[in-house]
Amino acid sequence: MAQPQGLNVPVIITTAVVTTLLTGAIFEGVHAYYNVLEAQEEGRKWDQIKERTIDKIHSDQVKNIEDPSRTSIPVYDPETGGAGKGSAMARVIAEGGKMPTTKPAKG
């Protein structure tokens, strides 16, 4: 009489885990590859722009992102009571990036 053959559960589980990990790695690799291609294509498009206005706007935006002190956005300055960048930005930095709270006058 033949012996009943059971399922080898540990081999099945191991195969499933390895297959899942390899599939995930393949998907992430393909996704990264297409991200690189997209970044290269975007760079080529910016290099091919003939209109200098768009190119200047783009370079100004990049400079503002890299150096926040160049921003032209007015910030309320409590010392002068108007828009300014000096002490208001220093106050925001001192408070860890949080805007100072304002309380409305009672009345």
pLDDT, tens only, 48-95:
877 778 778 878 777 766 665 655 555 555 666 665 555 666 666 677
Q: Is residue 8 part of a domain?
A: no
Strand ranges (E), the chain: 75-77, 82-84
List pLDDT tens digits, range 35-48: 999 999 998 987 88
- Domain containing 27: what range? 13-48
Distance CA 49, CA 53 (A): 10
Does 69 lie in the same domain as 38? Answer: no
Q: Both 57 and 85 in a single domain?
A: yes
- On whether both 29 and 43 belong to a single domain, the answer is yes
- Confidence band for 17, pLDDT divided at 50, 70 and 90: very high
Q: Which two tokens stand for residue 41?
A: 């294509």
Compute the distance between CA of residue 10 and CA of residue 74 in angstroms, rounded to an integer: 65
Residues 61 and 92 in one domain: yes
* Angstrom distances, CA of residue 39 to CA of 8, 26, 42, 43, 46: 47, 20, 5, 6, 11
Q: Is 87 in the same domain as 66?
A: yes
Predicted pLDDT of residue 27: 97
If one counts every other C-beta atom within 10 angstroms of the C-beta of residue 39, the result is: 10
The pTM of this model reads 0.41
